[in-house]
Structure 1
């Protein structure tokens, strides 16, 4: 039975789309029983190694360890024999490093502060990029940042870094500049100071965490939905002689398109996280903001 759609919904076109999509999926599943859409349980895989110990490793943790190992090996291979006339690998690595150094760190912080905070910002960028890209690699297909733990740890590091930068440059005056806006009448401080505290010290790490996590979760769910539907239409529906199985061509095309989009989002989210960290550091050391 089809459930009614409320005419008072603020986004009726979105509601209609999701409603129809859910009806199609439910119908397909009930007719054949072979279709299983993506589930949030995929982000909490079962333990594979060292179960019952503090060192438990599941598929997600193994992916994260793999990314770290691959990054270390890549940087080691690219820098172990530096030449004046660089090889292709060295040139590619230098181009990426200069993109982060010049485009994110120095343009935002200047050379003096940039040299000090370049290692942490660069580490964040390449770690997040590597973790994000595992979501589109066949055989892995799960981003290391798709569970909230790692993005939260990185956001906390970013939070401590911009507080440390402000305290190092301005001492305790950092808190005054952060919480008491210059040029504001004193009687407005009881209203504005709590808002500034929430905005600067609570909202920043929360938004850094949720933006990265939610983008990776959404991308994974879309890809799994498209390719699972493709498998269902081709190998279950079409195999039974039902021409509706040709819909798998469409779901496969959408899967390829979303894969390309996910590659872009993976790089974009790494850039956003790193550049926002640099901006927060710059705001914390600025004389007035």
Structure 2
């Protein structure tokens, strides 16, 4: 942060940090590509953290669960019952629980990185990771629809029942764009944009506090306390958004799968 604030102090104006400070140089660069980045390292670490936690939590299964087993069972039950079963329905939901469970906790851990001191980098603030997850979900719900209804699924997904035939030339293109183009884009960008924007706000607040503290004007130094209060509030709000975005992404995945399974009844 000092490196960010000193140039601003020398010029007498505040220069906020940008995306280039958020997306750090590659840890192991190679060729013309970015190389092995901090985001990649954190993604691998998240898999290790999630896998280790649930393996340990399920290792000693007891009738009266201990704290770790209880936490693991509660986490699994939340995704199983509150997302998969409630959205997809009691008949078909079980086969999709592993996907939804993995998505929720993978996104959650990678988002929470942004609230951990020293790490302070939500990996989905880089759009590539969000695109990959959205692509996986996109292929999944289309495959579910085709498996359930065959190629007729594309008609079911784009031609609403009960619409007069003379309105179909207007409705069908809108449905195609909405379901097969806009849906995957918004699914990914919602996660990416909120993580990037929230983290940039925290960075700007921190740089602003440092800039004000280093000024000679006592009123500017005092104003840093107000900025600090706002930064703490934003930090807590960002932590809440990190959890909510994991839930929203997983919830939308369940909704898309449910829509593909029951396209003939919508």
Tell me the TM-score normalised to structure 1 length: 0.84
1:269 aligns with 2:248: no
Cα distance between partner residues in 2 of 1:74 and 1:179: 42
* Deviation sequence 1:176-223 (CA, Å, 0-9, x none): 111111112223222211111111111110111111111001110111
Q: Determine the C-alpha separation between the residues in 2 that align with 1:211 and 1:65.
A: 23
Say whether the 8 Å CA contact 1:43–1:147 is kept in structure 2. no
Q: Distance in 2 between matches of 1:86 and 1:131?
A: 28
Query: 2:68 aligned with 1:112, yes or no?
Result: no
Name 1:141's counterpart in structure 2: 120
CA distance in 1, matches of 2:122, 2:81: 27
Paired residue for 1:278? 254
Structure 1 residue 92 displacement after superposition: 1.4
For residue 72 of structure 1, give the secondary structure of its aligned residue in structure 2. Answer: helix
Please give the residue correspondences for 1:199-238 in structure 2 after superposition, counting only pairs within 5 Å: 199-234=178-213, 236-237=214-215
Q: Residues 142-181 of structure 1 correspond to what in structure 2 (within 5 A)?
A: 142-181=121-160
SS of the aligned residue for 1:268 comes to: helix
Partners of 2:25 and 2:34 within 8 A in 1: no
Query: What is the CA-CA distance between 1:144 and the residue it aligns to?
Result: 0.7
Equivalent residues of 2:191, 2:245 under 8 A apart: yes
**Cα displacement string for residues 138-196 of structure 1 (whole angstroms, at most 9, x for unaligned residues):** 00111011011111111111111111111121112211111111112223222211111
Shift in Å, 1:30: 6.1
Question: What is the RMSD computed on CA atoms of the aligned residues?
Answer: 2.1
Equivalent residue of 2:27, what SS? strand
TM-score by length of 2: 0.91
Q: How many residues align?
A: 260
Query: Are residues 241 and 175 of structure 1, via their aligned partners in 2, closer, same or farther at CA, if it must alter by over 3 Å?
Result: closer
The separation in 1 between residues aligned to 2:122 and 2:161, in whole angstroms, is 43
Q: Deviation per CA, 1:105-132: give whole Å up to 9, x if none.
A: 0011123321111111111111111111
Tell me how far apart the structure 2 counterparts of residues 43 and 194 of structure 1 sit (CA, whole Å).
39
Once residues 223 and 30 of structure 1 are traced to their aligned partners in structure 2, the CA distance between those partners, rounded to angstroms, is 20
In 1, distance between residues paired with 2:43 and 2:60?
A: 27
Q: Could you tell me which runs of 5 or more consecutive residues in structure 1 were left unpaired when the two chains were aligned.
A: 1-27
| 2:265 corresponds to 1:288 | yes
The SS at the match of 1:51 is coil
Distance 1:164 1:145 in 2: 25
